[in-house]
Amino acid sequence: MLGIVRQKMLGQSLLKIRPAISVLRSYSSAAKQMTVREALNSALDEEMSADPKVFLMGEEVGEYQGAYKISKGLLEKYGPERVLDTPITEAGFAGIGVGAAYYGLKPVVEFMTFNFSMQAIDHIINSAAKSNYMSAGQMSVPIVFRGPNGAAAGVGAQHSQCYASWYASCPGLKVLSPYSSEDARGLLKAAIRDPDPVVFLENELLYGESFPVSDEVLDSSFCLPIGKAKIERKGKDVTITAFSKMVGYALKAAEILEKEGIDAEVINLRSIRPLDRSTINASVRKTNRLITVEEGFPQHGVGAEIWFEFSL
């Protein structure tokens, strides 16, 4: 995407910041910094403001301001009809979300973590993903299921699974996984605007991380295309594909490799379904070496799917 826009006049840049974005950090490079949390919050805010059919539903999203404070301030701004606190009944409220999407609304259903989405997986797959096909186009389901995915800090096996490969194997779903704030903003906006069911896999440990964002990213019409990966770091010796938190690790690894004289290319997948195979192919054709990195289980995982292309 675009590089960082360098602002010489900091005062002018302050005036250009939208009221929804209230935090400005680290002026050292004179670029705006934004945490992933703020990015998600602002994306939700802007989409809810632009389209009255968008509403948010989940455990603790309202009065608690969000289990991870992603939905902070939204209840005050939009009221209890559009920001709904649900009981701890994933199957029930996911089904209600899909039903509302059938009628034409645009729900954003939050799972406290995707581990709990297994309670609702029947609705995600059978009621949401397959409906457009089974009805030959009559019932589209413009719903977004979002929440933290993968491991947090030592939360135990039941709270640490990565669901990217499970959801990405299902036709009818789109699966997105952002890394930086730019990714978070652009992909969440794209997900909410998309007429298909989208599974939006965030990461709890990334919520507090700050990334530089350009003016274009801060604009309310900013949107990233679904199905396109981003080359975070260009290189020529080895391709490393990763998504979500692992992109950070891949970039750090690339720095270590650089000291050893190996120039790594890091691809941030962004979209797990559909997978941007042409970008990966072009990169591997250039480097002839591939490493896939993911938090999920290796068997039948995202890496296994990427490797399939190169195993022939």
Partner 1 sequence: MALSRLASSSSRSADLLKPLCSAISLRRPISTDTTPITVETSVPFTSHQCDTPSRSVQTNAKELFTFFRDMALMRRMEIAADSLYKAKLIRGFCHLYDGQEAVAVGMEAAITKKDCIITAYRDHCTFVSRGGTLLEVFAELMGRQAGCSRGKGGSMHFYKKDSNFYGGHGIVGAQVPLGCGLAFAQKYSKDEAVTFALYGDGAANQGQLFEALNISALWDLPAILVCENNHYGMGTAEWRAAKSPAYYKRGDYAPGLKVDGMDAFAVKQACTFAKEHALKNGPIRGKSLSLVEAIKLTSSCSVCCAYMQILEMDTYRYHGHSMSDPGSTYRTRDEITGVRQERDPVERIRKLILSHDLATEKELKDIEKEIRKEVDDAIAQAKENPLPESSELFTNVYAKGLGVESFGADRKEVRAILP
**Which residues of this chain interact with partner 1, rule CB under 8 A?**
55, 81, 84, 86-87, 89, 91-105, 122-123, 126-127, 131-140, 142, 171-172, 174, 194-196, 226-227, 274-275, 277-278, 281, 284-285, 309-310, 312
SS3 breakdown of the chain: % helix, strand, coil, rounded to 5? 40, 15, 40
Instruction: Write out 52-116 in H/E/C secondary structure.
Output: CCEEEEECCCCCCCCCCCCCCCHHHHHCCCCEEECCCCHHHHHHHHHHHHHHCCEEEEECCCHHH
- Asked if residue 275 lies in contact with residue 306, where contact means CB atoms within 8 angstroms, the answer is yes
Q: How far is the CB of 192 from partner 1 (least distance, A)?
A: 13
Task: Fill in the amino acid letter for 173.
Answer: L
Which contacts of 5-10 are long-range, i.e. CB under 8 A and separated by 24 or more positions?
5/31, 5/214, 5/215, 5/216, 6/30, 6/31, 7/31
Q: How far is the CB of 236 from partner 1 (least distance, A)?
A: 18
Q: CB-wise, 201 or 275, nearer to partner 1?
A: 275
Instruction: Pull the structure tokens for residue 196.
Output: 């298909």
Q: How far is the CB of 110 from partner 1 (least distance, A)?
A: 15
- From 38, 47, 59, 90, active-site residue: 90
Q: CB-wise, 196 or 263, nearer to partner 1?
A: 196
Q: CB-wise, 203 or 283, nearer to partner 1?
A: 283
- Asked if residue 107 lies in contact with residue 143, where contact means CB atoms within 8 angstroms, the answer is yes
Catalytic residue flag (residue 159): yes
Q: CB-wise, 57 or 217, nearer to partner 1?
A: 57
Q: How far is the CB of 278 from partner 1 (least distance, A)?
A: 6
Phi/psi for 90 (5° steps) reads: -60, -45
Catalytic residue flag (residue 59): no
3-state class (DSSP) for residue 149: coil
Residue-by-residue DSSP string for 199-212: EEEE-GGGTT-EEE
Instruction: Strand 198-202: give its sheet, edge to edge.
Output: 83-85, 54-58, 106-110, 144-148, 198-202, 174-176, 271-273
Q: CB-wise, 140 or 220, nearer to partner 1?
A: 140
Q: How far is the CB of 224 from partner 1 (least distance, A)?
A: 13
Q: Which residues are catalytic?
A: 90, 159
